Amino acid sequence: MKPKRKSTIFCISLLFWLLLVGMGLSLLLRYENNAGARGGSPSRWPEDSSIRRSSASPTLVMMVHPHCSCSRASINELALLMTSIQGQVNANVVFIRPKGFAQDWEKTDLWTSAAMIPGVTVSVDNEGVEAERFRSQTSGQVVLYGTDGRLLFSGGVTAARGHSGDNDGRRSILALLTGNGLYVEQTPVFGCSLFKIESEEPSKDSAGAKNGK
């Protein structure tokens, strides 16, 4: 093969490879910046909720899909937030367990991480009842209610899917709880759908197999 022809083939191959890399990066960025459905959080605390609302301090609730890798960043952000506001908020992380899934299906590393945050109460939302009460649709959604039961904030605490770092959600919650700084009442939520788990409901045996039981 002539050197000129080899050079031409190499250049074409290189351009094709760069095109594929560019398309891959574009798709990745689009995915990372594609927010989930936030849902219209109730303007007042749902009175039928089994989550304890404090009358002494604002109450924060984060809804999490236990198998959503994007929510690892949300829990990390909550941990950072709690270091600044511990004692100033009644914080709850609620893990959804869909109908038909075995007990402890929700006990993933995300559960362990959330349970290790000082001042945070971790609980299970059987069949997504609480998520529906708070109209949450995306994993990582946070709602903050005042001592009077009024909604103060609804949204996510990450700037993109699976990315920790400074963001409007964390800054706004901190400002609302401390009375210092500017805030917004709503932010996008970056995470997996809370309710789109499986195409069909598994039996208890198959759900147990998912946990290695």
- For the sheet with 90-97, list strands across it: 120-126, 90-97, 59-64, 141-145, 151-155
28 falls in which pLDDT band (50, 70, 90)? Answer: very low
Tens-place pLDDT, residues 34-53:
556 656 899 999 999 999 99
Q: Taking residues 175-186, what's their average pLDDT?
A: 94
Of 36, 62, 67, give the one whose Cα is nearest residue 51: 62
What is residue 93's DSSP assignment?
Answer: E
Q: Where are the domains of the chain?
A: 59-210
Give the confidence band of 59 by pLDDT, cuts at 50, 70, 90.
very high
What are the C-alpha distances in Å from 94 to residues 1, 127, 137? 65, 12, 13
pLDDT per residue as tens digits for the range 132-173: 999 999 999 999 999 999 999 999 999 986 778 899 999 999
Instruction: Report the pLDDT value the prediction gives residue 195, as an integer from 0 to 100.
Output: 86
**Residues forming a β-bridge with 97:** 126
CATH homologous superfamily for the domain 59-210 = Glutaredoxin (3.40.30.10)
User: Given this model, what pLDDT does residue 3 score?
Assistant: 60
| Overall average pLDDT of the 106-125 stretch | 97
Stretch 99-118: mean pLDDT, rounded? 94
Cα 84 to Cα 62, 81, 88, 105, 177, distances in angstroms: 17, 6, 9, 31, 10
pLDDT at 112 over 50: yes
Average pLDDT, the chain: 82
